[in-house]
Structure 1
Amino acid sequence: MEIKAVLFDLDGVLIDTLDCWFQAINDTFRKYGRREISRDEFLREVWGYTYDRALGYLGEEALAYCRARLTENLWRAKLIPGAREVLEFCKNRVRLGLVTNTPRENTLKELEMFGLEYFDVVITADDAVNRKPSPDMVLRACEMLGVPPEKALMVGDTESDVRAGRSAGCRVIGINVDADWKIRDMYELRGLLEKILEKAS
């Protein structure tokens, strides 16, 4: 198996922003007089998909408010342990892509906050009509990298990531989610990537 590129999801894979998003979504519901959702509802219905899936019916003003609240909440974000080490390991071995349903402004802010300037291509919610779990964002990243999907790995932490990667024709590594390989954390990912990339070479 020849691997030329590794594509990463952002939130929950490289940066822990779950609390940031959860707060921003509920702040928006509260402002617009809607019922706040529980953490379980958030994980089931919003996390891994797009924020407009939950808020779109409230209109563009509400979406803009949510994006602003997310930016204000980013002080809560934390770099996932082992994430930088994985990117350092990959950067001179394969092309790197980021494929995230997060809006571009917020994505770039997160990358800047933690100094994650490793990616050859960054595809965000603003760069695609059809977002994950559609394969379109993954296919676009592969096209821009000049790598066929069958020679790319997708790393994600949600069913949405897995469906997008598989539908595009990539092999998928799932962090605590069923995929072609299922792992627990970034340290385990580092070991798995070493085996896959060494075997490919």
Structure 2
Amino acid sequence: MSRPSSALRVVRFSGDEMRARLDDLARLRIEVFRAFPYLYEGSLDYERKYLTRYANARTGTIAVALDGDQVVGACTALALEEEADFVQAPFLEAGMDIGEIFYFGESVLLPQYRGQGIGVRFFEEREAAAREFGYPVCCFCAVARPEDHPLKPEDYVPLDNFWRNRGYEKRPELVSQFGWTDIGEQDETAKPMIYWMKRLA
């Protein structure tokens, strides 16, 4: 297991720099998202295709946490206008202007590097990108699992308070259905993803 070091830093990538890191980022997403609440059974092929969208998008943004040259964390973002229809759908149905919203894809970090402020940096980097591209509102979504889910660890603590401390408000009326295969399952199933939003100062 890697240990945090003085070489730990956060770097924002785009375009060709991002493409050069796709396999590292793909493996990281698969490893981190296997844990509750996502329980994600991922594949490198899917992950490469998914992450390439960010590399090709006009507003595609990835910030990476590096320990030396090892990728230990990453976050992604792009304009909601460049996201898939099912991500845009709840905002359009609510009559919101998706042309002013910047969407945060995910934030993943290896467990041994948590608690050192990297998660906060990931939000700062993506909010900075939103401002640079001219988007006054940021959003992200998180999976909603049943409270009595059989794979929920006894010591599991949701990140709601962390997100509220970053200034985000939970919007339970805004929900998309994301599909993936859970670990130990054979078929993909849809999961409700609830959005959180923040208007930048």
Scaled by the length of structure 2, the TM-score of the pair is 0.29
Larger helix proportion of the pair: 1
TM-score (norm 1): 0.29
Bigger relative contact order (CA 8 A; separation at least 6): 1
Of Structure 1 and Structure 2, the greater strand share is in 2
